[in-house]
Structure 1
Amino acid sequence: MKANERFNWAVEMLHVHPADHILEIGCGHGIAVSLIAPGLKSGSITAIDISQTMIDKAMKRNETNNAAFIAGTLEEAGLPERQFDKVFAFNVNIFHKGPGRELPLIRRCLAPNGVLYVFHQPPPTDSMKVAQGFADAITAQLQKHHFTVKDVLLKKLSPSPCVCVISQPSAQ
């Protein structure tokens, strides 16, 4: 499976450095991992998905890459504290519906100055207004759970525009 433009754009927005320690939430088939892992030298990528089937597919796709995969929820993963420079998720619905349990876990595993990137591509539409609605919902959830939104990016892609909300934990 070839990486489509949404994953290429997402990886570009992450500005991955060779020493970054990255966590992907909801890795699916492992497409983003396959784009990120080859560029990491002293860094690492860990990918989580609730589906063992998806983890198996991601591991197969990335068998030559140095990546760690975890089947289960973020809560079940037992991630180390303050390890990840960047955490990202693409089309993980909790971020616009109610990430009350997940955001404290993400806050705990982010390194000092760590950044959370939430990407979303709505169902097929040409409407930037629909994409902006998702951006607004994600922003509201992040702010409600004490994250400071640093930037909101929208990109016209096929079959729908994509959103990237970039945030960091607020001082509480």
Structure 2
Amino acid sequence: MATTGLKQRMIQQFHHPRGLGGRVAGWVMAHRGSNRRRNVWVVDLLDVQPADRVLEVGFGPGTAIGELAARATRGRVYGVDHSAVMVERASRRTRAAADRVELIHASVDRLPSFGAPLDAVLAVNSSGFWPDPPQRLRELRGLLRPGGRIALASQPRCPGANRDTTTRAARELQDLLTKAGFTELRVETLALDPPVACVLGVNPG
């Protein structure tokens, strides 16, 4: 029973890192090769341009944030995460681009103002933990300019997850984006174990 309780507490740290356990979880996320491949792949799919204003929701240790900053060299990169530990870790990772990167300790249901409309939004393995995902996506769509892009990615982590699990996750993401008013949806898959699904959409305005 004690072992089961410890395992559950560690799993929770990956959902909401805090304290020493959260720092360990952050280190694991930052150094796991599959995590890096997944994040770089999603950023590639989003086709970030040098002048883009981009938001990542749930940035964790900042892997994708770093990739975004390397591409939006004349733009602005924002990130929100509900873990203060991850904000600290990702801030260290992106210190060299601090003039273009703003990381905020906030929940997705309490998003701050980002001033001008955004060009792109992404979330990698985080939308499943949002309160009322359809409403959150409608709010995110409201932050995007007409024609702005969104990318939602999911690599299922439940026991026994396989290609079928990923296919179901992709359908769920498609349904959420459709309900939120996004159009031009397309699904891409990265061949990891289990596979990663990324659903991309456009704000029609």
What TM-score, normalized by structure 2, do the two folds share? 0.74
Give me the whole-angstrom Cα distance separating, in 2, the residues matched to 1:92 and 1:68: 19
Amino acid at match of 1:25: V
**How many pairs were matched up?**
170
> Deviation per CA, 1:55-86, whole angstroms, max 9, x where unpaired?
11111111111310011113323223651111
Q: Partner of 2:178 in structure 1?
A: 143
Task: Give the 3 Å change call, closer, same or farther, for CA 19–46 of structure 1 in structure 2.
Answer: same
Q: How far apart, in 2, do the equivalents of 1:97 and 1:153 lie?
A: 25
Which ranges of structure 1 fall in alignment gaps of 5 or more residues?
none
Matches of residues 43-122 of structure 1 in structure 2 within 5 Å?
43-65=75-97, 66-80=100-114, 83-94=117-128, 98-122=132-156
Aligned counterpart in structure 1 of residue 191 of structure 2, from 148, 152, 156: 156
RMSD: 2.2
- Counterpart of 1:165 in structure 2 is 199
Q: What is the TM-score of this pair, normalised by structure 1?
A: 0.88
Whether the 8 Å contact between 1:24 and 1:46 is mirrored in structure 2 is: yes
Q: Which residue of 2 aligns with 1:33?
A: 65
Q: Take 2:44 and 2:143, find their aligned partners in 1: how far apart are those partners?
A: 23
In 2 relative to 1, CA 156–164 (structure 1 residues): closer, same or farther, beyond 3 Å? same
Letter paired with 2:126: V
Moved more, 142-151 or 65-74: 142-151
> Alpha-carbon deviations, 1:14-39, whole Å to 9, x = none?
11111111100000111111122122
Q: Is the 8 A contact 1:81 1:108 kept in 2?
A: no
Identify the residue that residue 15 of structure 2 maps to in structure 1. Answer: none
Tell me the SS of whatever aligns to 1:42: coil
Q: Which amino acid aligns with 2:108?
A: L
Query: Which whole-Å CA distance do the structure 2 matches of 1:49 and 1:148 have between them?
Result: 26
| Mapped partners of 2:83, 2:152: distance in 1 | 20
Alpha-carbon distance in 2 for matches of 1:145, 1:40 = 26
Larger radius of gyration: 2
CA deviations over 1:69-124 (Å, ceiling 9, x no partner): 01111332322365111100000133898413311210111012101110111117
Relative to its length, the structure with more strand (as a share) is: 1
Percent identity, aligned pairs only, is 27
